[in-house]
Structure 1
Amino acid sequence: MTDAVRETVSPHAHRWTRAEYERIVEVGGFGAQARLELLDGDIVDMSPQKSAHASAADLTEAVLRACTFANAYVRTQKPLAIDDISEPEPDIAVVPGSPRDYAQAHPTSALLVIEIADSSLTYDRERKARVYARNGIADYWILNLRDGVLEIHRAPQDDAYRRIDTLDPGQQISPLAAPACVVGVAEILP
């Protein structure tokens, strides 16, 4: 092979489809302890949960379970088969239907997605936000543990959110899918 030919050949990463990823998961290809998710064709290692993250997830789940979502329910840390190249595992998702609706396949949409972020803050704000916006998730919240605030992302257009608000612990918000439910930011912060 000549030097000119060598310079034009460059390696590239394999882009996984959700179907390929799910087949590997089904046969145990990653091992039982692997914490992974598929995002834009990349298989990504998820950060280990620190105590504050776990506490915030429990608090948020409890607050949301007290809300009344019409024909929807709260899922924690479970896959969301959002498109052909992404299957994130949000910390909290409110999905249409009931648990039995997903006995054969993961939900493909959500009414509300919440990520709890400390070390993953940039990843959740950028990469995950693009995937969620691109797939029409109208209500995406990031519980920012670093700054002790709740970031509300709404009005998705293409791969971005047109409206982002930051709420401090003294403020409240209602999910779009449950406007009568009032969530105090202080209630879900550890």
Structure 2
Amino acid sequence: MTIHVTPGSPLPRRFTAGDLRLMLAAGILREDERVELLDGELVEMAAKGFAQDVVKNALVRRLVPLLPEAAYLGIESTLQLGPGLLLEPDLLLAPMSARSATPEGFCTIPGPEILLVIEVAASSLAYDRGRKAALYARHGVREYWVIDAQEREAWVHRGPAEGLYRDPAELSRDSVLRPEAEELAMIMAPLAELG
């Protein structure tokens, strides 16, 4: 890969999913490295802490027995939503039939067909509630939850329009999370019981 630098102010180099695939093939990046590609910017993700694992595992235990057979549950799976956008949500729910592979070999699901994305965060709360929420909204993801792994509070984002979610709701520790999608009506997750 040749990178040309022009005189004056340097411009950031934007990467694509294809570039990332080449970096993986060349050994520049390892498959197990925790990175996301956000609008062409390669971002290193923080390591998951104990509280995040506890909450994520509690969610998985609640979700798995309730999901219909035709549902796809992605757990820290790479999701390509555009040429320069690779995300690794903690949990993702969609119809199995909505999944396909991109030419670069990553999973893709059209944003409006994704039923729910969940991020469990500790140190990245502002990032997940801000930049990532805007990315999911821009791609039409219907519902996006951010759960504070330490405090067991949550922010529920619904109704994406013009790259934003309408009035995200902040839920306290004594609240119960319930997805809006009809296909997930059987799911409920009391925040206080996640861990």
Could you tell me the TM-score, scaled by structure 2's length?
A: 0.83
Partner of 1:48, secondary structure, is coil
- The CA distance in 2 between the partners of 1:81 and 1:10, in whole Å, is 31
Q: How many percent of aligned residue pairs carry the same amino acid?
A: 30
Residues 140 and 71 of structure 1, relative CA distance in 2, 3 Å threshold: same
Size of the aligned set, in residue pairs, is 182
Q: Which amino acid aligns with 1:180?
A: M
Q: Which has the larger radius of gyration?
A: 1
Q: Match for 2:151 among 139, 147, 150?
A: 147
Instruction: Answer yes or no: is 1:121 the counterpart of 2:120.
Output: no
Q: Which amino acid aligns with 2:29?
A: F
- Structure 2 unaligned blocks of 5 or more: 1-6
Q: Deviation at 1:108?
A: 2.5
Residues 176 and 26 of structure 1, relative CA distance in 2, 3 Å threshold: farther
- The CA distance in 1 between the partners of 2:10 and 2:140, in whole Å, is 33
- Aligned 1:166-185 pairs, distance under 5 A: 166-177=170-181, 178-185=184-191
Q: Residue deviations 1:69-124, cap 9 Å, x none?
A: 47322111110111121111001111321699659541324221101111111110
Does the Cα contact within 8 Å between 2:137 and 2:163 map onto a contact in 1?
A: yes
Q: Which amino acid aligns with 2:12?
A: A
Say which is worse superposed, 145-154 or 79-88, in terms of deviation.
145-154
- Aligned 1:61-80 pairs, distance under 5 A: 61-69=60-68, 71-80=70-79
Residues 146 and 159 of structure 1, relative CA distance in 2, 3 Å threshold: farther
What does residue 42 of structure 1 align with? 41
Say which is worse superposed, 170-179 or 84-93, in terms of deviation.
170-179
- The CA distance in 1 between the partners of 2:166 and 2:190, in whole Å, is 23
Moved over 6 A (4+): none
Structure whose residues are more often strand by fraction: 2
